[in-house]
Chains A and B, each alone.
Chain A
Amino acid sequence: MLVLCCGNPDRGDDAAGLLVARRLRKLGIDCLEHSGEGLSLLEAWQGADEVVLVDAVVTGRPAGAVSVWDALAAPLAGWPLPGSSHALGLAEAVALGRVLGRLPRRVTLYGIEARRFELGKRPGRALLRGVVEVAKRIRADGADRRPPV
């Protein structure tokens, strides 16, 4: 199983995925930090059978709330954050992967509800609760562990 944790360390709660990655490593679970840029996500999960994605989301739930989606079951349209970019986001990567037949057999998305995205701000406390919960759930879901040192 490939765990891809997406985020931006300089944009407040948008760091959610990266914070989960750091926590997973402490738990002995292999994962990759990723910017969330869609085209490179397509490359990152190429050849993987099962992928777990972690990212900040905005759905209107309280900050730090955790949502889980089967990314292959339904389009993630409307899920990505508002804005625009040269780069595709995670939801667009899944959508493009679906059209091109470039999706792993299983893609699970853990979304942590985010609220503040200001440049240079630290993640909010409420978000951190979601970070802890997602790390625990990924471990419980059976992510690979590093061999003991």
Chain B
Amino acid sequence: MSAKVGRNGSRSIKVDYLTRVEGEGSILVKLKGDQVQDVQLRIFEPPRLFEAFLRGRHYLETPDIVARICGICPVAYQMSAVHALERILGITVDPAVRLLRRLLYCGEWIESHALHIFLLHAPDFLGYPDVISMAAGHRELVEQALRLKKIGNRVMTVLGGREIHPISVTVGGFHKVPAKADLRVLVDELAWARDTSVAAARIVAGLEFPDFKQDYEFVALSHPEEYPLNEGRLVSNKGLDIEVAEYGEQFVEQHVKHSNALHSRLRERGAYLVGPLARFNLNFDKLPETAQQVAGECGVTPPCRNPFRGIVVRAVELVFACEEALRLIAQYEAPAAPRVLAHVCPGVGHAATEAPRGVLYHRYEIDERGLILNAQIVPPTAQNQKRIEDDLWHYVPQLTGLPVETITAKCEQAVRNYDPCISCATHFVKVQRVG
């Protein structure tokens, strides 16, 4: 971190490395008096060129390649990819396969949300520099978080073959599906996870939240019958209601000089927000009763426009993911076949699923041999970049009387509201504060 005072009295706050986020990025905030002059979320994680890697590869290789984009949310990349490709090939998967995919996604939400809520973001609210310092005063909370994360990873291992970069997902289904007994062994731990998540949500709700609200456009998937994970229409609180295939007509990616990740905007209205807050506000009625009750007890009800309360919403979603996993396991009957085979045909397919951090859009074009001609991958952090900068534009004026170190810490906390995954987005941020 560094701070400079210019000749004209302007101040710059530069956070050189944004920590407790995935990947490399920085934040630059320029102040003149109490006026913010510039905010830049600088993503210098090198471009990762996954879309280019995919060109010329056979479509069946896609789930394994895109899983490598992220070690925290590989399932999200696999899910968006297989759905998009299945749309090209006209594949409808067995209902049991659909159930298993939803269960696999629950595992990823559990491990990712547990990690972010308790190990990465809670230290900001409790005044610790990191989880190691926090563990001394909140040992039980940290131990619980580690066990929660482990349970999420266990679900991913049972369904995906391993906890990071699962290997069982394929276009049309799975290479191998579990027997009922394989899932039953998860029930006791998931029941503990659900009960612990409920208690943890109440603890998180007791944290101190800055008084900060914004008029966000929330964008998320919406499904008529369930809290969105793998499918649905793309909707917002400001009138958006489209099929995923219409994504390109409504959204645009733009290069900005200070970021190696493209900024996404709604063509008509600019910045928007994806992630837990958007999902919660747009799909509250689809949450199971337990999660709705916990949300009410925790003081979060839609519309929740305070991004700092996102940590509570994430905890509510953790309750949901555990509850949903238990429901799915209770319903599971192994499919007749693990996957559906299809004849290759050329075409274009789109899909969006709900990664832990928000909407993840994929588009593929394949030829008659099944080779990928074009791929487009729009991760949630890339979509939230502009919104993160806008939050800082509006939040920093509340902080200008504070010491630079305090402003810096609060800006980092504000960025972590979004749980940014910089590696995914570059295909993101050292925080540099100038002020």
Contact = CB atoms under 8 A, between A and B. Distances in A.
A35 B146 contact: no
A43 B164 CA distance: 14
A148 interface: no
Interface stretch (A54-62, A78-86, A127-135): A78-86
Interface stretch (A23-31, A95-103, A139-147): A95-103
Interface residues of B, number: 33
Contacts of B71: 35, 37, 86-87
B132 A86 contact: no
Interface of A: 35, 37, 39-40, 42-43, 82-88, 92, 95-96, 99-100, 119
Nearest to B145: A39
B115 A96 contact: no
Contacts of A92: 130, 132
Contact of A83 (B17, B153, B163): B17
Contacts of A96: 131-132, 135, 142
Contacts of B153: 40
A23 to B, nearest CB: 24
A120 B389 CA distance: 32
Contact of A86 (B46, B136, B139, B421): B421
Name the 3 nearest CB pairs between A and B, nearest first.
Answer: A86-B22, A99-B135, A84-B19
B425 interface: no
A42 B115 CA distance: 14
B378 to A, nearest CB: 20
Contacts of A42: 146
A119 B46 contact: yes
A39 to B, nearest CB: 6
Given A84-B20, A88-B131, 17 more contacts: A83-B24, A84-B17, A84-B18, A84-B21, A84-B22, A84-B24, A85-B21, A86-B20, A86-B22, A86-B116, A87-B22, A88-B119, A92-B132, A96-B132, A99-B135, A100-B142, A100-B143
A100 B131 contact: no
A82 B22 contact: no
Contacts of A100: 135, 139, 142-143
Interface string B104-142: 000000000001100110000000001110011001001
A2 to B, nearest CB: 18
Given A99-B132, A100-B142, A100-B143, A84 B164 contact: no
Contacts of A82: 17
A39 B152 CA distance: 13
A84 B43 CA distance: 12
A39 B22 contact: no
Contacts of A85: 21-23
A120 to B, nearest CB: 10
